[in-house]
Amino acid sequence: MQHRRNLETEPSKESIMKATALLLAGVVAAFTVSSFAKPVIGQPAPAFSATDSNGKTQTLAAYKGRIVVLEWNNPLCPFVGKHYGSGNMQKQQAEAAAAGVVWLTINSGAFGKQGHLDAAAANAYVGKVQGKETAYLLDADGMLGHAYDAKTTPQMVVIDKDGVLRYIGGIDSIASTDVDDIPKATQYVRQALAELAAGKPVSVPTSEPYGCSVKYGP
């Protein structure tokens, strides 16, 4: 009888497997949450590795010692269209390049979602709009977008030469699709780059990003 009671009270193999699975799920969930913690101004920018439209691996670490701009892009978003159709985005990209700044345009649209581009379509788009970015990154799994808590297209990030996050938010101060608002708006990215170049702190380190929602996958 004693032997029978012991067998009845011992955990079954199935219950042990279930408990182990739950524990592992908890660990994975905790890791995922910590991986996607919101970026903080004045702290190191999240490291990343992503493939660009030419098949080259782009990493933040590769550009240590240079200022880096990140720009979230959806070619079908009218807010993106405002800045590319007017030439404002390309002009700022060219200005940045002339100053030695790295400009990475990022598409975090998931496969099948609005604005998603494969490599060939991305290169065709850059050619069509005459983009001046350093590279166009493909982020269909959303890992890079989530790492920077990117919510809209366009959304902008500026990282200093030491890899520290100095600006995150909208490209400018007027949230509209009206091209006529561009010259009236404060161009936050251009302003941040000028201040960093002059050795000054960024006067507006954050702003509310505006545009279309980033079309992440499930």
Concatenated DSSP letters of 9-37: HSPPHHHHHHHHHHHHHHHHHHHHHHHTP
Asked if residues 31 and 23 have their Cβ atoms less than 8 Å apart, the reply is no
pLDDT in tens, 9-42: 444 545 444 443 444 334 333 333 334 578 999 9
Q: What is the pLDDT of residues 178-199, one digit of tens each?
A: 999 999 999 999 999 999 999 9
From the list 120, 164, 140, 162, the residue with the least C-alpha distance to 214 is: 140
Instruction: Determine the residue type at 119.
Output: A
Residue 7's alpha-carbon distances to 2, 12, 17, 26, 48, in angstroms, are 9, 9, 17, 29, 52
CB-CB neighbours of 142 under 10 Å: 19
Cα separation, 79 vs 115, in Å, equals 13
The domain spans of the chain are: 2-33, 39-213
Phi then psi for residue 155, to 5 deg, are: -130, 140
Beta bridge partners, 138, equal 51, 107
Question: What tens-digit pLDDT sequence spans the chain (218 residues)?
Answer: 444 444 344 445 454 444 434 443 343 333 333 345 789 999 999 999 999 999 999 999 999 999 999 999 999 999 999 999 999 999 999 999 999 999 999 999 999 999 999 999 999 999 999 999 999 999 999 999 999 999 999 999 999 999 999 999 999 999 999 999 999 999 999 999 999 999 999 999 999 999 999 999 98
Single-letter code of the amino acid located at 109 = G
Model's pTM, two decimal places? 0.83
Task: Using DSSP bridges, classify how beta strands 49-52 and 135-138 pair: parallel, antiparallel or unpaired.
Answer: antiparallel
Strands (DSSP E) found in 165-207? 165-169
For domain 39-213, which architecture applies?
3-Layer(aba) Sandwich (3.40)
> 3-class SS at 116?
coil
In whole angstroms, how far apart are CA 208 and each of 149, 152, 168, 178? 12, 10, 9, 18
| DSSP designation for 163 | S
Whether 154 and 89 have beta carbons less than 8 Å apart is answered as: yes
Decide if 142 contacts 110 (C-beta within 8 A).
yes
